[in-house]
Structure formats: C-alpha cells, structure tokens
Homo-oligomer: A and B are copies of this chain.
Amino acid sequence: MLDFAILGLLMERPRHGYEIKRSLAQLGFWTVSFGSLYPALRRLDKRSAIEAAEGTGRRKAYAVTGGGRELFASLLAADPDASETDRAFQIRLAFLSQLPQNERSRVLEHRRTKVAAQLKSAREIVIEARSSTQQPDRYRLALMEHAMRSIESDIAWLDGLIASERRVSQTA
C-alpha cells in the first residue's frame, strides 16, 4: 500500500524520506506519518527493492533497484479486484500513465462499478433515514446525506475521467 506509493515516487527519481512524505501529501492523497514511512522504507530496503544512494550528511536518499521496478510494475498491473482500497486506487491512478491505454480504461471502469455500488447503498440509507417514523438526529442525517453526496461527486469525477480517456484513445 504505502510501499506501492513509495516505489512509484522513487521510480521518477531518488528521494529521501521527508521528501517522500511531502510528495505523498502533494499528490493529494495522504499525509503519511513517520511511524508508517520509515518502517516502510526499511521494509523495502530489506526486500532490496530500494537502496540508499548518496548518504550526503544526514539525509538518506533512496533509489529504486531493478527488483523494485519489477515489484512496482506487478503491483500496478495487478488485477484491481473488489477489495481494492480507496487509497490503492488513488495510487494506481497517480501512476496510470505507465499502463497501456486499454488497461487504463479497465481500471477506471472497474472503479466506477465499485463506487456505483457504494452509492446505491448510501442512497438506500438516506431514503430509509428520511422516511423513518422517528426521524433521526439531524446531525446524523446531515452526516449520511453528506456521505451520499460525496459519493455522487466521486462518480461524476470518474465519469469525467472515463470520458476523457475515450476521447484520447480516439485521437490516438
């Protein structure tokens, strides 16, 4: 999970820990804690997927190794099965350019199906709550409605991505 993201970032260029943390946050999906980051780096180092390059001073820059590249490629191309996390999808998306066009659509469509299911159940929950005899706490209703709307906006966003994907593949 975190390993996947780290490898992806290191594929572009060597980075040291703190920089990985910053990049992760800038990609808009994660403010990872030090308690996750440094153990992850050691994990990857142990598997020799990464190696410490130029230990200039106290900053340890890490670079991805050959094995690391292979590992990353297999993670990226892996079947985005039903149990894919939100975060896993985001990471996959951030590196989606590295996948051939037809596979990209598959990843997006697959995600759409999953989120559509989430929307269905979120809607049912809201409808149920609104029509309940003893109508629920207003804060909770707000919570449920907001959750529903967030999913709706996720779907709209995904549809935009899918549409632009189709446009690109037609031009090409």
B139 touches A97 (CB 8 A): yes
A139 touches B27 (CB 8 A): no
**Mask for A131-172, Cβ within 8 A of B = 1, else 0?**
000000111101110111110011001001100100000000
Q: Does A125 count as interface, using CB distance less than 8 angstroms? A: yes
**Mask for A25-48, Cβ within 8 A of B = 1, else 0?**
011110000000000000000000
Given the complex of chains A and B, what is the CA–CA distance between A150 and B29 in angstroms? Answer: 12
Given the complex of chains A and B, what is the CA–CA distance between A60 and B143 in angstroms? Answer: 29
Contacts A97-B137, A125-B26, A137-B97 given; does A150 touch B153 at CB 8 Å: yes
Q: Which residues of A contact B (CB under 8 A)?
A: 26-29, 90, 93-97, 122, 125, 137-140, 142-144, 146-150, 153-154, 157, 160-161, 164
